[in-house]
Structure 1
């Protein structure tokens, strides 16, 4: 093909390669709003969040806004744990505690009263039912550590050979009658193992000719030299559960008649000193 410089080669079916004159594109932003318009639901822009423009730092605060303290504080409800016990959910008022205390006090008082009513009476530790009508002044008291058999006579001594006592006391008292007459009273207490043996001893001592438990005057203890002999002229005895009390009285400054009513009354009143004498150390 001939080379023609400066002239383009013509090809079959080809258009002339004429140079186009193009105008450069210019972006017109006058129609674009500052805020992005919300995208339509069907467009791809619907999933992108729209953010508000950041506030201006130099913008003055709004004067018409109400003060913060006028707005009520938000109520926050504390969740209740399902495992919380009922005792924590229900609080007892002071009145409720007072009523509970009163109920417990009444129950304790009633329990104490019932216990006192139903408990068995301890006769051994009980005091005499009443005090003697006479004032008995102790002169001498001693315990027979050697046992009852060694201070007894006749059938009573044989009784203690089979059934020895647990405790023995012997004492002397002085008292005055309303007319001023002085009386000497001997009081012997014998503590047996049980009430049955005490009753047997008391029955034996009330019989004539069965012997007796010697008193301190019979044993000629110190200080008894000038005291009258006690010859069972005003004798009396009694059983108090498993304790046997034996008494005898005589006038100090005059002769003692047999079974004198005044002396018998003194001896019977002296038997009320049985338990206190046995328990006195």
Structure 2
């Protein structure tokens, strides 16, 4: 019969052995090597795939620069040519014409010409011409006409009167025909202001072609003649002829001058 366990027992220490856990049958889900403690449970992702690689990974090295084919070069050249043609057409459309560009700058003068009289022909060139020149203007009328008188002084103190007539024609060809006709003897001329007895010219000498000269400047014909003031004027005087030729440079400025 076993002893009664209900009574007081001696307080003796029980001889017990520590329990040991057997982990041999536990299989780890996965092994995650960690280089750093704080990365032990952090997922590792690679670089994002490039458009060429796609989501499945790289498919090869990145492509190099595209090679231009001969046809590509030809197309590029055609485009450049078309751009040049269009640019040239636009420039021709917007650039000023020769008439819009204005007259050339007057060259320097060797004499100091002082304007005495200036008049514009409001009734055309035919009305102030004579001889074959008048007939010429009946067929080919001018666009603009001015007549002026200038005075100048030579180095020896002689005073000179010079007539300058400007005739603006429609084009250079008609201006050349007029200039050729004016250089011939006996063909008439455009009358100067002294010949037309304009006011203030009573005491001025006659200009009778003693030192005549003319020239064409594009579509402008300039006609000049000179005479001494206060003394006789010999024919073909070299000093007067030089003055007349120099006065032809006043052509464009005289034509463009606004009437007073």
Q: Per the shorter chain, which TM-score range?
A: 0.5 to 0.7
1:178–1:164 distance in 2 versus 1, CA, 3 Å:
same
What do the CA deviations read for 1:5-53 (whole angstroms, capped 9, x no partner)? xxxxxxxxxxxxxxxx9xxxxxxx99479xxx8x847427x569xxxxx
Q: Structure 1: any 5+ residue segments left out of the alignment?
A: 1-20, 22-28, 49-78, 84-118
Structure 2: runs of 5 or more not aligned: 6-15, 31-46, 52-94
Which one has the largest radius of gyration? 1
RMSD, aligned α-carbons: 3.3
CA distance in 1, matches of 2:253, 2:49: 69
Does 2:21 correspond to 1:43? no
Which one of 260, 266, 270 corresponds to residue 237 of structure 2? Answer: 260
1:205 and 2:188 matched: no
1:183 CA displacement? 0.4
Which of these residues, 130, 142, 149, is aligned with residue 172 of structure 1? 149
SS of alignment partner, residue 221 of structure 1: coil
Separation in 2 of the partners of 1:156 and 1:185?
A: 21
CA distance in 2, matches of 1:81, 1:270: 87
Distance in 2 between residues matched to 1:256 and 1:43, nearest whole Å: 141
* Equivalent residues of 1:172, 1:184 under 8 A apart: yes
TM-score, structure 1 as length reference: 0.57
* Structure 1 ranges of 4+ moved more than 3 A: 29-33, 39-42, 79-83, 121-124
- CA deviation vs aligned residue, 1:162-210 (integer Å, no higher than 9, x gap): 0011111111111000011110000001111122211111111112221
Instruction: Please list the CA deviations of residues 97-140 of structure 1 after superposition, one character each: whole Å capped at 9, or x if unmatched.
Output: xxxxxxxxxxxxxxxxxxxxxx9x95963234x32211111112
Structure 1 residues 47 and 168: CA distance shift in structure 2, 3 A: same
1:210-243 C-alpha deviation (Å, 9 max, x unpaired): 1110111122222212211111111111112221
Instruction: Provide the rounded CA distance (Å) in 2 between the counterparts of 1:41 and 1:215.
Output: 136
After TM superposition, the score normalised by the length of structure 2 is: 0.62
CA–CA separation in structure 2 for the residues paired with 1:172 and 1:41? 133
User: Matched residue pairs, number?
Assistant: 184
1:126 pairs with one of 104, 119, 124:
104
